[in-house]
Structure 1
Amino acid sequence: MSEFERANLISWARQLAYNGRLLELVDPSIHSLDKDQALLCITIALLCLQRSPSKRSTMKEIVDMLSGEAEPPHLPFEFSPSPPSNFLFKSRKKARTNSCQNGEEEKKAAYIIS
């Protein structure tokens, strides 16, 4: 795997998922790791990255999986190699927009990709 692919967490996770090595996402300095819990959390995170929004789990389904009331689906599933284009990133640059509401000026901040 290239350094570029490792720099993108989602691409790295996808590659590890395809190779059955998801636990490599976990910081090796964590010594008291519950591997089953780590795999559950990683799998649930990957559920949120599926290409089709209709295939993503609802918050209720996620809570049920975390509480043990439901089983997560098995890998593999398709998840995006990068966040959607309309995803707002926190950046050093800040775009500000102004809007009027009830005669008062309201400042809104949106983060942009730098």
Structure 2
Amino acid sequence: MSEFEQANLISWARHLARRGKLQDLFDPALQSMDQDQALLCITVAFLHLQRSPVKWPSIKEVVGMLSGDSEPPHLPIEFSPSPPSNLFKYRKKAR
């Protein structure tokens, strides 16, 4: 068994996020699942996997995102398959 096959759910989800394949987390047996709502829940969960706890949303913010009262979150850059190019330009200038 490969190291990837032995990985935990969070490692597997991170791997899929970086490849742009979050839908692979969905259980095919759940045919009546709202895929947009599932992606929203997964994205909110990723907000709490960021390295810096300062970036984590509060419970109030999470409830707002999930209820539709606030703007849906974007996948954090560290898990995104293609981070914005201007971020890399900024980092190069800062060095």
TM over 0.5: yes
SS in 2 for 1:42: helix
Between stretches 31-40 and 7-16, larger displacement belongs to 7-16
Separation in 1, partners of 2:24, 2:2: 15
Higher share of residues assigned strand: 1
Higher relative helix content: 2
Give the number of equivalent residue pairs. 78
**1:50 maps to 2:50:** yes
1:33-92 Cα deviation digits (max 9, x unpaired):
21100100100111111100001111111000011011233224336xxxxxxxxxxxxx
Report the counterpart of residue 67 of structure 2 in structure 1. 67
In 1, the alpha carbon distance for the partners of 2:3 and 2:66 equals 32
Question: Unpaired runs of 5+ in structure 1?
Answer: 80-114
The residue number in structure 2 matching 1:5 is 4
Runs of 4+ with deviation above 6 angstroms: none
TM-aligned CA deviation for residue 4 of structure 1:
3.1
Instruction: Name which structure has the greater RCO, CA cutoff 8 Å, separation 6+.
Output: 2
Contact kept, 8 Å, 2:46 with 2:75, in 1: the verdict is no
- Structure-1-length-normalised TM-score: 0.61
Inter-CA distance 3–34: structure 2 relative to 1 (3 Å threshold): farther
Match of 2:16 in 1: 16
Question: Which structure's CA Rg is the greater one?
Answer: 1
Does structure 1 conserve the Cα–Cα contact (< 8 Å) formed by 2:48 and 2:57?
A: yes
Instruction: Among all aligned residue pairs of Structure 1 and Structure 2, give the percentage whose two residues are the same amino acid.
Output: 62
Deviates more, 1:12-21 or 1:36-45: 12-21
